């Protein structure tokens, strides 16, 4: 998205209900800044993330997608994030194989106590994606305004 001639990326952050979403809350409570371009979607667990969610996000105009979940070992459902970790590794590797910029996708583990980490992660990710520019390789012109 271009705002006043400047590129502002759209970022979709999938956050797990139990850790990262609370982490984002904590970042807000502590008045820690992170870019408004980050749109958070709450999911029950990081392993709820269907790979199609990521592709759909890109289709509908996201320039970067980040998944945040509990640290491995701390999953509310005991093992969900272990499965998510394997799936996302394979999916990201496949996206890279198809020539889609590998920095557009990321996984970070953010606990409910890590508001500062959440803000820092988002700042860093937005910066990275801003450098990459608009998502062209996984876009869908039918979804563009």
Partner 1 sequence: MQEVKQKAIELLQSGKVQRVLGWKTGEFFYDLTPAVFETVEEIKKDFVFSPFCGANLSKYLIAESRKEGKIAAFLKPCDSYSFVQLLKEHRIVRENVHVVGVQCNGMCDIEAIKAQGVKGVTAVRQEGETLVCETLYGEKSVPYAAALSERCKTCKSKKIVLFDELLGENGEDDPDCGRFDLVSKLEAMTAEERFAFWQQELSRCIRCNACRNVCPACSCEKCVFDNDTLGTANKAAANSFEEQNFHIIRAFHVAGRCTDCGECSRVCPQHIPLHLLNRKFIKDTNELYGEYQAGADLETRPPLVDFTQDDCEPSVVYTRGGNGK
**Positions in the binding site for partner 1 (CB under 8 A):** 51-52, 55-56, 59, 72-73, 79, 82-83, 85-103, 105-107, 137-142
Q: Closest CB to partner 1 among 8 and 87?
A: 87
Q: Closest CB to partner 1 among 7 and 82?
A: 82
State the DSSP code for 45. S
132 forms bridges with which residues in the sheet? none
Q: Is residue 11 helix, strand or coil? A: strand
Q: Closest CB to partner 1 among 28 and 82?
A: 82
**Least distance from partner 1 to the Cβ atom of residue 27, Å:** 21
**Least distance from partner 1 to the Cβ atom of residue 16, Å:** 15
Vertex 17, ends 54 and 1: CA angle to 5°?
A: 40
Q: Using DSSP bridges, classify how beta strands 38-43 and 6-7 pair: parallel, antiparallel or unpaired.
A: unpaired
The torsion region of residue 5 among left (phi > 0), alpha (psi -120 to 50) and beta comes to left
**Least distance from partner 1 to the Cβ atom of residue 9, Å:** 18
Q: Closest CB to partner 1 among 36 and 98?
A: 98
**Least distance from partner 1 to the Cβ atom of residue 65, Å:** 12
Q: Is residue 38 helix, strand or coil? A: strand
**Least distance from partner 1 to the Cβ atom of residue 120, Å:** 15
Residues 6+ apart with CB under 8 A from 139: 58, 59, 61
Q: Closest CB to partner 1 among 31 and 144?
A: 144
């Amino acid at each position: 998205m271009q705002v006043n001639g400047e590129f502002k990326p759209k970022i979709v952050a999938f956050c797990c209900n139990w850790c990262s979403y609370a982490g984002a809350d904590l970042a807000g409570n502590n008045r820690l800044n992170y870019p408004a371009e980050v749109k958070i979607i709450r999911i029950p667990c990081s392993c709820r993330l269907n790979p199609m969610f990521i592709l759909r996000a890109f289709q509908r105009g996201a320039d970067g997608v980040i998944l945040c979940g509990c640290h491995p070992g701390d999953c509310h459902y005991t093992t969900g994030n272990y499965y998510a970790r394997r799936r996302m590794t394979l999916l990201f590797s496949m996206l890279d194989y198809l020539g889609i910029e590998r920095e557009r996708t990321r996984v970070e583990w953010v606990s409910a106590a890590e508001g500062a980490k959440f803000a820092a992660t988002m700042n860093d990710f937005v910066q990275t994606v801003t450098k990459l520019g608009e998502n062209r390789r996984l876009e869908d012109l039918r979804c563009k305004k």
